[in-house]
Amino acid sequence: MVGLLRVHCLLGDYHTGLKWLQPIDITQQGVYTIVIGCHIATIYHYGFANLMLRRYVDAVREFNKVLLYIFKTKHHHQKAAQYEQILKKNEQMYALLAVCLSLCPQTKLVDESVNSQLREKYGEKMVRMQRYDDEAFGVYDELFSYACPKFITPAAPSFEEPLVNYNQDAYRLQLKMFLYEVKQQQLLSGLRTFLKVYSSISLAKLANYMEVDEPTLRTILLTYKHKTHSVDSDGKIISNADIDFYINNDMVYVVESKPAKRYGDFYLRQIAKLEGVINDIDRIKLE
């Protein structure tokens, strides 16, 4: 099933790839997690497929889990034959996580240690991606090209033109689709900026700020709703946005999701630090 997920991702058929993975509950430990290479390959292709289907929350959640696992256990696999491949996939998933969070700011789903590593590796590029200009467009292109799988095409080559190289066609098609989605997100950046500032605003006032007429603004608002919602594996419509809104009597009311404070994670990190200090003290005493 993991192999079929990978094959369909390479073909660009993300729906079918995720469908083959449905019998496996990737939110729980299972047979696929016993082999580290299988575990990482599964989450990498699962996350990438969700990224391409605009299911950014699912992608961020699973990337965070596996990156945290690699961060904690990386030193145990230094002598493994797959160590270099683990490091490569680790870097690629950080790049994909940066893309997901730039398109769908959901940092509340990311662990503090993973977020720290992410900011260290891609903090500057994530800031540039938030500008929504040609430079940001180039950064999206760069990160996608670095982190995407090596796409293939099921079609046979043209034997009438043996000297023509078609091996990059599949990659160019997927890149074009991704950048088209990014371009659409860029067009909505101005709307999101105003929604973050106001808790409520009239349609006329918002249209004036955005320098469009009210019918055009309604179209933009509907587009924003469409782009921040996706269909999950169960066929349910889910929201990927950290900021949502509704319209009542020509007034736009903004609803911002507030991240729940995770006190347990803080205490677990402090306990781990304390255990490390105790181990260091015991080692000094023995010496």
What domains can be seen in the chain, in order of their start residue? 1-153 (no CATH), 187-256 (1.10.10)
Predicted pLDDT of residue 185: 80
Per-residue pLDDT of the chain (287 residues; tens, 9 = 90+): 888 888 888 888 888 888 888 888 777 777 767 778 888 889 999 999 999 988 888 899 889 988 988 888 877 767 777 788 888 999 999 999 999 988 888 778 888 888 888 999 988 888 888 876 778 888 999 999 999 998 888 877 667 766 666 678 888 989 999 998 888 887 777 787 788 888 888 888 888 888 888 888 888 888 888 877 777 766 777 777 777 788 888 888 888 665 555 566 667 777 878 887 888 888 776 66
Predicted pLDDT of residue 219: 87
Tokens for 167, please give them.
């091996």
Predicted pLDDT of residue 91: 92
The span from the CA of 116 to the CA of 26, in Å, is: 25
Element containing residue 239 per DSSP (H, E): strand 237-239
Predicted pLDDT of residue 265: 64
Residue ranges in 200-241 assigned as alpha helix (H): 203-210, 214-227
Name the residue among 262, 256, 261 with its Cα closest to residue 228.
256
Predicted pLDDT of residue 146: 93
Q: Write the DSSP symbol of residue 222.
A: H
Predicted pLDDT of residue 94: 93
Q: Write the DSSP symbol of residue 12.
A: T
Tokens for 42, please give them.
């599964």
Contact indicator for 88, 241 with CB cutoff of 8 Å: no
Predicted pLDDT of residue 144: 93
Contact indicator for 188, 227 with CB cutoff of 8 Å: yes
The span from the CA of 40 to the CA of 239, in Å, is: 26
Predicted pLDDT of residue 228: 78
Predicted pLDDT of residue 169: 82
Tell me how long the chain is: 287
Predicted pLDDT of residue 162: 65
Predicted pLDDT of residue 99: 92
